Amino acid sequence: MSVRIDAHVHLWDRALDPQDWIDPETMAPIARDFGSSDLKAMLASTGLDRAVVVQSSNSVAESVRLAHLDPSVVAGLVGWVDLTTDVGAQLDLIRRDATVPLVGVRHLAHIDPDPDWLVREDVALGLGVLDREGLCFDFVVRDWQLPQAAVVSGRHEGMSFVLDHLGGPPVPGADTRAWAAGLRELARRPNVAAKVSGLVSGLTPGSWRAEDLADRVRIALEAFGPERLLYGSDWPLVELGGGAVAWKAAVDSLLGELSAAERARVFGSNAADLYCCR
């Protein structure tokens, strides 16, 4: 049986890694700590085996702690390092005595004060270190940053990149033309894959149906193909939009025309191959 991997989840202990962006009133479902046991229960509810944990804050200390999670449920870690200074030393710190492999790095570029952070020369040097270390880089961007992601992935042709949350398509009912053009251009880079994730985390539970997201998933499938798409729940944030079970069912429905082999790639094999986390 193929490995079944959720390619995008978060875990946090707020006493150790404060998540100041969580509003306890408007984000009550996620205003608590989430650990390996919670993740195991979520994976069981969605029929998956393990997950790739992704950083939540731009903090090496957080990444060090996440690297010591339960490897029976955590297949790998997409952590954070400051790409502008001494990247190798930071990677060594995260990897020291780690129980789960560091498989990639991410920076919260979508909220970075510098709108041109992705295309900076000092960042390019840091990406070069990741490339030499065999690590992926996850793009977390707004739709207007997709052209920057295309530039970066074109400059580092030998490196693997993963686009989180399909690059932040507009909410159902909004104009998707600019996003779709940026996504298609980025997908022309063969070293870029994309996660079908995060599409409902900002929506109100009960306000959406799978059909509302069909055009976005169709565009992504046409652009990347099943060989470069990864399923991700964006848990626990997905609980703000109806929950992991509802999201998994929606993706199952939207990818219903894929063959069994193609579905196996989206729901695990692609993540295992890309992140080298079998």
Spatial contact of 152 and 161, defined as CB atoms under 8 Å apart = yes
Task: With H, G, I as helix, E, B as strand and everything else as coil, classify residue 114.
Answer: coil
Spatial contact of 72 and 49, defined as CB atoms under 8 Å apart = no
User: Which CATH superfamily hosts domain 5-275?
Assistant: Metal-dependent hydrolases (3.20.20.140)
Strand segments, DSSP code E, in 121-202 are 136-139, 161-163, 192-196
Burial of 33 (0-12, 13-18, 19+ CB in 10 A): middle
Residue 197: which of 257, 149, 237 has the closest Cα?
Answer: 237
**Residue 140: its pLDDT value, please?**
97
d(CA 255, CA 265): 12
Structure tokens at 73: 């449920």
- 272 Cα distance to chain centroid: 14
**Residue 70: its pLDDT value, please?**
95
d(CA 47, CA 64): 28
**Residue 101: its pLDDT value, please?**
97
**Residue 2: its pLDDT value, please?**
79
d(CA 43, CA 30): 17
Task: Tell me the pTM.
Answer: 0.96
Residue 6: which of 52, 68, 58, 71 has the closest Cα?
Answer: 52
**Residue 173: its pLDDT value, please?**
85
Q: What is the pLDDT along the chain (278 residues), one digit of tens a residue?
A: 578 999 999 999 999 999 999 999 999 999 999 999 999 999 999 999 999 999 999 999 999 999 999 999 999 999 999 999 999 999 999 999 999 999 999 999 999 999 999 999 999 999 999 999 999 999 999 999 999 999 999 999 999 999 999 999 998 888 999 999 999 999 999 999 999 999 999 899 989 999 999 999 999 999 999 999 999 999 999 999 999 999 999 999 999 999 999 999 999 999 999 997 55
d(CA 58, CA 85): 14
